Structure 1
Amino acid sequence: MLEALKARVYKMNLMLPKNNLVTMTSGNVSGRDEATGYVVIKPSGVLYEEMQPEDMVVVDLNGHIVEGKLKPSVDTATHLYIYRNRRDVNGIVHTHSPYATSFAALGRPIPVCLTAIADEFGGPIPVGPYAPIGGEEIGRAVVAAIGNSPAILMKNHGVFTIGRTPEAAVKAAVMVEDVAKTVHLAMLKGQPEELPVTEVAKLHDRYMNAYGQVTR
């Protein structure tokens, strides 16, 4: 079932340790199949280097296992709440990447002081409130606080990113950590100046509509 999506979600999960966004078994990537509504997600507590595509778990939007021999991620309820409430989202990533999570530990958003932040995120990367792990609470907080951004920092916890595909969500997760590191280093030297709102809007529009190759 959903073999192509399993392969994609498996590949995107492997991108997390490759980009130093997770350690050991932490973090996860999921993807939603638009046709069935089923979600493919990483199994709980399995080392990335030991996973195979067939280890990915298929669940419905209510959390029932449709296919899979292993238990799904402990963050499954969070992912499913987001999918049920954001029909535009078909990929979700959760990490504890260190530079971005340092902002989450402080409960501080990442200011839009780089063109890369304006490009990818369209504004400051927001921070959501602390929410307990294991149920839908984090999902509710993400949906309530993320706005139009593809990423959010959850206070005292970590990073969640969303996208129209699992690949887009992983890209956002990689970008969050990259810009968080740069902003952290800048703050060691002083207080970086934020870009004007009009410039942020112009940069984001250009990135979303003119950057890259046009597909027909």
Structure 2
Amino acid sequence: MTAFSPEIEVAIARTRDEVAALHAELTRYELVVWTGGNVSGRVPGAELFVIKPSGVLYDDLSPENQILCDLDGNVIPSTPGSDRSPSSDTAAHAYVYRNMPHVGGVVHTHSTYATAWAARGESIPCVITAMADEFGGDIPIGPFAIIGDESIGAGIVQTLSGHRSRAVLMQNHGVFTIGKNARDAVKAAVMTEDVARTVHIARQLGELLPIPQESIDSLYNRYQNVYGQNPAGELK
């Protein structure tokens, strides 16, 4: 059996609990169907991450059947869940963790409205203040890539490096989001679908009205650095 320090074992257990529980948010917000989609979380203090097993129904997910992997996407043997295959997107998640060390969580969905934008190969323009707040601008389109190897991960990193957005629409595929932790990445996935739906409906009604860049910058700074803090600068 693979041995880790007591501190890392605790971190792994906490990450398993969090990742397993967060999958319920994907179904709650109707971002996934059947067994599609996944959440992963980096294990703090270790070159490891936890990800959903492949082909398991959401109602059957538990901390014990989440899969522990190294940052090359290899399953750690003799650990809970290691008898199952990890998500088919594991290589993509691993590539992101290796190349974006600030990322602590990755989420993938095929949520309806956002995936419709991806099917058109079109970024979502920043035309509502909620997008400026959360994403700091447009949600970009990433390249088409085949599932199963690092190609999708490379496309995510290429598109989001130096970009404010925590979401990318991979062309003809769906949504990938990143975050400081798994919960943050799930929030980004929820917000991506919300703004994708709103902007789609707005475009059916008429011409979209752009937000000036200086206003986008101001809104993003306020939401990211001021919103939810008390006068001492501490989060409420």
TM-score range, shorter chain: over 0.9
Q: CA offset at residue 148 of structure 1?
A: 2.7
SS of the residue corresponding to residue 102 of structure 1 reads: helix
Q: Report the counterpart of residue 101 of structure 1 in structure 2.
A: 115
Map 1:189-204; keep pairs closer than 5 Å: 189-204=205-220
Q: Tell me which moved more, 67-76 or 157-166.
A: 67-76
Structure 1 residue ranges without an equivalent (≥5):
none
Does residue 154 (structure 1) correspond to residue 170 (structure 2)? The answer is yes
> Partner of 1:58: helix, strand, or coil?
strand
Instruction: Select which of 118, 121, 125 maps to 2:132.
Output: 118
For 2:59 and 2:195, the matched residues in 1 are separated by 27
**Distance of 1:33 and 1:52 partners within structure 2:** 17
Per-residue deviation, 1:34: 2.6
> TM-score by structure 1 length?
0.97
State the alpha-carbon separation in 2 of the partners of residues 36 and 90 from structure 1: 11
Contact 2:146–2:152 (8 Å) recurs in 1: yes
3-state SS of paired residue (1:65): coil
Runs of 4+ in 1 over 2 A off after TM superposition: 213-216
Hey, what's the Cα distance between the residues in 2 that align with 1:22 and 1:103?
16
TM-score (norm: length of structure 2):
0.89
Tell me how large the CA RMSD over aligned residues is.
Answer: 1.1
Amino acid at match of 1:179: V
- Residue of structure 1 in register with 2:3 after alignment: none
User: What CA distance in whole angstroms lies between the structure 2 residues aligned with 1:176 and 1:23?
Assistant: 17
2:88 to 59, 71, 74: 74
Residues in 1 aligned to 2:91 and 2:75: alpha-carbon distance in whole angstroms? 12
Deviation (angstroms), 1:139: 0.4
Aligned mates of 1:14, 1:215 — CA distance in 2: 26
Counterpart of 1:15 (choices 22, 25, 43) is 25
2-structure distance, mates of 1:200, 1:148: 11
1:184 and 2:200 equivalent? yes
Deviation at 1:215, TM superposition (A): 3.4
Equivalent-residue separation in structure 1 for 2:16 and 2:43 (angstroms):
10
Query: Could you report, residue by residue, the CA deviation over 1:120-166 in whole angstroms, capped at 9, with x for unpaired residues?
Result: 00000000110111100000011001223100000000000000000
**Given the alignment of the two structures, is residue 87 of structure 1 paired with residue 101 of structure 2, yes or no?**
yes
* Structure 2, unpaired ranges of 5+: 1-8
- Find the aligned partners of 1:194 and 1:177 in 2 and give their Cα distance: 19
> Distance between the aligned counterparts of 1:186 and 1:63, measured in 2?
41
Letter in 2 for 1:47: L
Q: How many corresponding residue pairs?
A: 216
